[in-house]
Each structure stands twice: as C-alpha cells, then as structure tokens.
Structure 1
Amino acid sequence: MFGLWSELAPQYLLILTLSTTLVFALPIFCIPLVWARLMGWTLPAHTDLAVYFGRCLGAFILILEAMMLRAALTGEAIHAVFEMLLAVAVMMIVVHVYGALRRIQPLSETLEIGFYVGLLVLTLLFWPAT
C-alpha cells in the first residue's frame, strides 16, 4: 500500500492543494467567523480571540498549501511535504477524536475524522518513490 500510486504524487498534491486552499485555508484566514458558523460552531459574544486564532491557523495552512503547490509543480521537497501531510493527518485525527469524545465540537468537526483518515490513507498511497 505504501507508495502504490507514487508516480501520481505531484497530481495528488496539486488536487489536494487546490481543494483544501479553497475549502479550509482561505475561508479560515479571511472570514474565520463565517467559516465557524457554517461548520456549526456557536460563537461567543466576544470574538476577537476567535478571529485572531482563526487567522493564525489560516496563515499556517496557507504556508503548507504553498509548500504543497511548489512540490506538486517542481518536485522540490516533495518528501518533506508528504511527511508534513502525514503529521497533519495524524495530529488532526487526534484533535478531532478528542473533541468528539469530550462532545465539545459540532457534528461537522466529528465528521472531519473521516476526512483526515482518508487524507492519511491517500497520502500513504501516493507517497513518492525515493
């Protein structure tokens, strides 16, 4: 399973970059509270901290997206990018499972566990050959 589709690694990164930039990175960076409401979060009366953390998270996602795009288009640092994707998938599974077990997140966030498990499996399947 590991690297079964490695010859398509750049295409996988390109599709993943475009879709996650549009669905996660840009909305979280530009309109974090709108994104949060769409995901089912209840917003507090004071939102400055939520906006700050949302924009910080969005900025980090955009950095990862830029690295993924560069690796997809040039092949540069493609192994490092896949290692980051693997780490992101594992840590986001942990974060979302914790929230689900504590019942402190909306259903949309619990359903993201499946997204990150899928990301983990696909990342392993598309792992670039050495």
Structure 2
Amino acid sequence: MIGLLGSHAPAFVLVFAAISSLVFGLPFILAPEGWGRAMGWRVPRDRDLLAYYARCLGLLTLSVNAYAAWAALHRPVMLIGYFIMLTLFSASMVPLHIYGWLRGEQPWTETAEIPVWAGVFVACLLFFPSGG
C-alpha cells in the first residue's frame, strides 16, 4: 500500500497544499471569527487572542504548504517536504482531534474531522514518493 501511487506524489502534494491553503490557511488569517463560528466554536468576547493564534496557525499552514509545493517541484528535496506534510497535516491531526473529542472540548465539526484526517493519512501513504 505504501507508495502504490507514488509516481503521482508531486501532484498529490500540490493539490493538497492548494486545498488546505484555501480551506484552512487563508480563512484563519482573513476571517478567524467567521471560520470559528462556521465550525461551531463559541467565539469569546475578547477576540484578540483568538485572532492572533488563528493568524499564526494560518501563516504556519501557508508556509508549510508553500514549502511542500516547492519541494514537490524539486525532486531532490521532495521527500523532506512530503514528510513535513505527512506529519503536520495528517498524522498529527488524528490524535489532536481525538484528544479534543475525548475531553469534550470541541464542536461536532471538529470531531467529524477525525475520519477526514485519517483518510488524508492513508492517502499520504498511498501517494508516498517512490523511486529516485
């Protein structure tokens, strides 16, 4: 299973980087309160900290996606970019969302992301870069 579709790894990384930038990165930066409400979070009265952390997370998302996209286009470093994407955007998201669910600290929409991130992890394994 690992690397079964590895020859398509660069395309997978580029598509994932674009989608996660549009769904997460930019909304976190441009409309953190609106994104939070849409996901079912209670937005606190003091929104400065919320906006700050959302902008930080959004810029981190865009930075990782930009590096992953660059790495996908430069074969010698693609594996490094792929590992960053695999760990940050798939493998770590499953336990993070399970933890929030078990503690009852997140809206249902975040809990619903558990199978989504698990699916992304499986896709990452399927598209794992193959060959040299």
Q: TM-score, normalised by structure 1?
A: 0.94
1:84 match: 84
Alignment correspondent of 2:27? 27
- Relative to structure 1, the CA distance from residue 7 to residue 55 in structure 2 (aligned partners, 3 Å threshold; closer, same or farther) is same
**Shift in Å, 1:76:** 4.8
- Cα separation, 2, equivalents of 1:92 and 1:69: 20
AA matched with 1:108: T
- Any idea what the Cα deviations from partners look like across 1:3-54, whole Å, max 9, x if unmatched? 0001100111111111111111111122111111111101111111111000
TM-aligned CA deviation for residue 86 of structure 1: 2.0
Structure 1 residues 42-93: Cα deviation after superposition (integer angstroms, max 9, x where no partner): 1111111111000000110011110121123333521011111221212111
Q: In the alignment, is residue 64 of structure 1 matched against residue 64 of structure 2?
A: yes
What is the root-mean-square deviation in Å for CA atoms of aligned residues? Answer: 1.2
What does residue 75 of structure 2 align with?
Answer: 75
Report the residue type matching 1:92 in the other structure: M
TM-score normalised by structure 2 residue count: 0.93
The number of aligned residues is: 130
Q: Which letter does structure 2 place at the counterpart of 1:71?
A: A
CA distance in 2, matches of 1:76, 1:114: 32
Segments of 4+ moved more than 6 angstroms: none
Shift of 1:103: 1.1
Whether the 8 Å CA contact 2:68–2:84 is kept in 1: the answer is no
SS in 2 for 1:46: coil
Please list, as runs of the form range in 1=range in 2, the aligned pairs for 1:1-130 lying within 5 A after superposition. Answer: 1-88=1-88, 89-130=90-131
Structure 1: runs of 5 or more not aligned:
none
Q: Distance in 2 between matches of 1:92 and 1:102?
A: 15
Aligned counterparts of 1:94 and 1:65: Cα–Cα separation in 2: 21
Q: Percent identity?
A: 38
- Quick one: which amino acid aligns to residue 31 of structure 1? A
Q: Conserved in 2, the CA contact under 8 Å of 1:86 and 1:123?
A: yes
Matched letter for residue 98 of structure 1: Y
